[in-house]
A and B are shown apart, each in its own frame.
Chain A
Amino acid sequence: MERLFIRVLQMSLAGAVVILGVLLLRLLMRRSPGRFRYLLWIVPAFRLCVPLSQTSPVSLFRLLRSGPLGGGDYTPAGLTLPLENAITAAGTGAALSPAAAAQTAADPAFSWLRVLAWVWLAVAAALLLYSLASSLLLRRRLATAVRLQGRVYQASGIDTPFLLGLFHPRIYIPWGMEGADLEYALTHEHCHIRRGDSWWRLLGWLILCVHWYNPLCWLGFFFMGRDMEQSCDEAVLERLGDVRREYSESLLHIAGKHRLSSPAPLAFGESGVGGRVRSVLRWKKAKGWVTVTAMLLCILFTVAWVTDPAALAPETMTLNPDGTIGALRWGMTPEEILAADSRFEVREDKYGYVWMGLEGATVLGYTGDIRLCFTSFIIDEQLHRSKRGTPMLNQIVIDYPGEISLRTELTALFGEPVKHQLDYSREPEIVDGVLQAPFKSEELPEEEWYWLSDETALDLIPLEHMRIGYPKETDSWLQAGFCSVFVYQITVDEWETETGTVTSLAVLGNAEAYQRFLEDEYVRKTEEG
């Protein structure tokens, strides 16, 4: 629950930024056709609905290890992982094992986060219930509306025409409405029907129910509604010619029938009608270049905010004085990490490896001490048979020109590196009673090395004041595949990033706990599959 809540909060934050963007752009586009302003709202809606967006799928761990992902499509130069690995996120929620859930449930500690999460859920549920109840009530009230023609119904008890319904939307008008008023109202409402506005309105409202605590979402919903109406007003003017005066008088006439007993609750300075009448009066047939500019602005905006969300909301973590990052502490179990930081996820890639990690973090480089601790096992493909072979260390280090690498240190520890990577796609062989993995035939590129070790390498590698530069944006997945389990511990004093913020990666400990956890996940997934 807390994890979900935090994820929603993150989406909300990203969405709020985009809403601010739309509000600013709306000011710029004040004179452009309203439908473009209306279209803009798709972008924040998308950001508020979809938790994950594409990020640059490049792994920092590509630099620190070799491994399962290297299997088929390892591309050393480009440092790119297959996109699917980064994005097969769907269903990770389910992957967050019963173990993790049980642990959370068993934890008696009072947590504010949990309280907030439940409050959030309760209010969202209440809002949804309220919506359901009021729509049922409204349907009942309108059951006796009498059909005038087609989907137009006359109803008592209302004094403004409106549109209701999703699949077969109906236009309800007050009794006795006729003439120009009726013609304008119907033209306006038919525009809503053509564009499926009922659905957009519902989507907006559902988003609002989830992000109810976010004032910018309410503001966004309000302005989306306004843009929706104004663009339909423009459609009326385009369809019926320049009837600005007649149309705005009709709007005013109908709104005026709805008497306000107290001063209007004008939330944003003017009533909806006021703004609409003003914009109708201002209306001019849009010139070609205005339309084109508005369209370009919309496209630019969409591209900027939908396809590059990583730049929008960088994953940042705070560096703690003890060298750990964010909420992570040394020796945490996987369950604890998952509970502590919602950005960690358990995923399964297309090779069937289960990974635990953090996506979207950017590390451009860091200085300070680095301690690495990793274990690696070759095990049978069918893990539940649990035929475990010789523990091996395999490690790839990539040197970048002008940078110091781990090579010297690792060679001192594990001897000379080899130039062939293990081939995980083939069955391990038993040689002299020892399970051995086959090697790939092709040699590693010149700047890469690979070590094998007979021992589980839990040694700490002190790397005093070394500096590793990662010239590319990296995606930091802490990973554990089932031919090999990698566990890293990294402490850093300072992170250099593009944005200057401390950004990234993770600290893990407790290698055994990881292996158990990920093996369990793997078995669970295998049995499910």
Chain B
Amino acid sequence: MKVNAALIGSGNIGTDLMYKALRSDWINPVWMVGIDPESDGLAKAREAGLKTTHEGVDGLLPHIEEDSIQMAFDATSAYVHAENSRKLNERGVLVIDLTPAAIGPYCVPVVNLKEHVGKKEMNVNMVSCGGQATIPMVAAVSRVQPVEYGEIVATVASLSAGPGTRKNIDEFTRTTASGVEKVGGAARGKAIIILNPADPPLIMRDTVHCLTETRPDEEAIRESVASMIAEVQKYVPGYRLVNGPVFDGNRVSMFMQVEGLGDYLPKYAGNLDIMTAAALRTAELFGEEIANGTISLSAAGA
């Protein structure tokens, strides 16, 4: 049995996520919520047979019970997320946060999703696109040996960075650096983002540098990186290692490329893809557990 879900936010991320969710074995997207009646995302959602509202989360709330909505993806903005989440949690809806608000714990599916499902979290945050692309690599090294410092450089095509990212670029660097520490397992984290306007647009590139406390165990790290990549490829097939791991003293560097599926934005926008795919993967694992009766959601405070 699929779990009914609502998509909050009808921009690039929400729309891309809708196409992915429509193919899911565990998630059934029922509603898309926007604030602009003219938005392309809402039109696309109607075409796909979803119910829509342009009155924000308040337009959805009266329908939660009758449509048995158990999960919601929030792809709006950090400013409104807390309020959206509160209203949804109150009604027993689990919220997967794709904004940089990060009021819930960070979730990078291949690293710590099972932990969150076990704890029955009601709000999990997807860090950032750069975080989803790089934290698995930091974790691949840190599960072999202690990482004293993890640094990531995410380069995305200018066309794939929307106004939200641009206005809040500091939130990207802050949230991603913190995810590199908390989920990636580096003692200290740093994140850098570059927007490149080249035409044709470049496919998302990510560089990951780890400084290990002791001399890196090259063989174990190569193996760990390869198996981590295979795990990520289960939900992002276009995730690949272009070069590396390069070993230079205690430095371990991986050069990644993330090509998207091209569901809504073109394939170069791997940054959007890895975010939406990770969010869906997260929802699916929760959904699987709900369907199996292993966990059940309850209204906050109830």
Q: Do A and B come from one complex?
A: no
Q: Give residues in A with beta carbon < 8 Å to B.
A: none
